[in-house]
Structure formats: structure tokens, C-alpha cells
Amino acid sequence: MAKRVTPDMLVLLLPILLLMLLMPFSWSSEGLSPGCHLYPFNVTIRSDRRGTCRGAHVVYACVGYCESSAFPSRYSVLLASNFTHNITSASRCCTISKAAKVKVRVECPRGRHHDDIEILTAQACRCDMCRKSRY
């Protein structure tokens, strides 16, 4: 004997069906990773405030977020810090893992002269321990 679908059962099944329809068809490791990625932006280099000589180039920076956490300190940490270090944090920052030099041609009006200036651009990013020296 087959069971009939009652309105009560439909109310219970509807959220599950909606979740299944909204779920992506395939999971990728990229979609599950923290959001630290390369981001392009234009850089303009000028020789002076008036911009007599200038050059432009697209370079990359690392932007986004990384997973961090904070938790109550262990008792041994509390004792060592005379009970002043109540919270221990494990912070990770989005930072450059690989950089490269790129040349930017700085040209002056009427072709008087030009220079090539080297600047750094990010080639790869990663979540790493936050360090003061980087920022």
C-alpha cells in the first residue's frame, strides 16, 4: 500500500528540496578555502606633482581574509603572564608568497627622455602568520 503525501509532510520536505536545488553541483577546494587572492590595480608613477613625466602599469596585491581564532589561555600561560594574558589568538593574514619585479616606462612629453623604473608586484598569495614587519 502506497503512502500519500500529506500537506504536513510537504511542509517538512520543502526546505530540504530547496536546499538541494540551491546547492552547487560540484564542490571545489577553491570554494572552501579562505578568501586570500590576487587583485589587480593600476599604478601611475609621476616624476613630480604636475605629472610632467609619467608611466602606468597593472600590478597585483594580495587582498581578502584568512581564518583566525581566539580562545581562553591555558592555565600555564596565565601563570607565566601573572594572569594578564587571558586570551590567546592565532591570527593569519593574507600576504604575498611570491613577488616579481616589473618595469614601468616613465615617458616625458614630446619624447624628451624616458626611464624604466622597477616596482614589485605580487604573483601569488597565501594565508600566513601575521607579522608586524610586513605591514
pLDDT of residue 27: 39
For 124-132, what is the mean pLDDT? 88
**Per-residue pLDDT reduced to its tens digit, 39-63:** 999 999 888 777 788 899 999 999 9
Determine phi and psi for 84, rounding to 5 degrees: -105, -15
- For the chain, the structural domain boundaries read 7-134
Nearest Cα residue to 105 out of 42, 44, 22: 44
Does the domain at 7-134 match CATH 2.10.90.10? Answer given as yes
d(CA 63, CA 39): 6
Query: What DSSP character marks residue 83?
Result: T
CA distances, 87 to each of 64, 81, 82, 90, 93 (Å): 25, 11, 13, 10, 19
Whether this prediction's pTM lies above 0.75 is answered by no
Q: What is the radius of gyration, based on Cα positions, of the chain?
A: 27
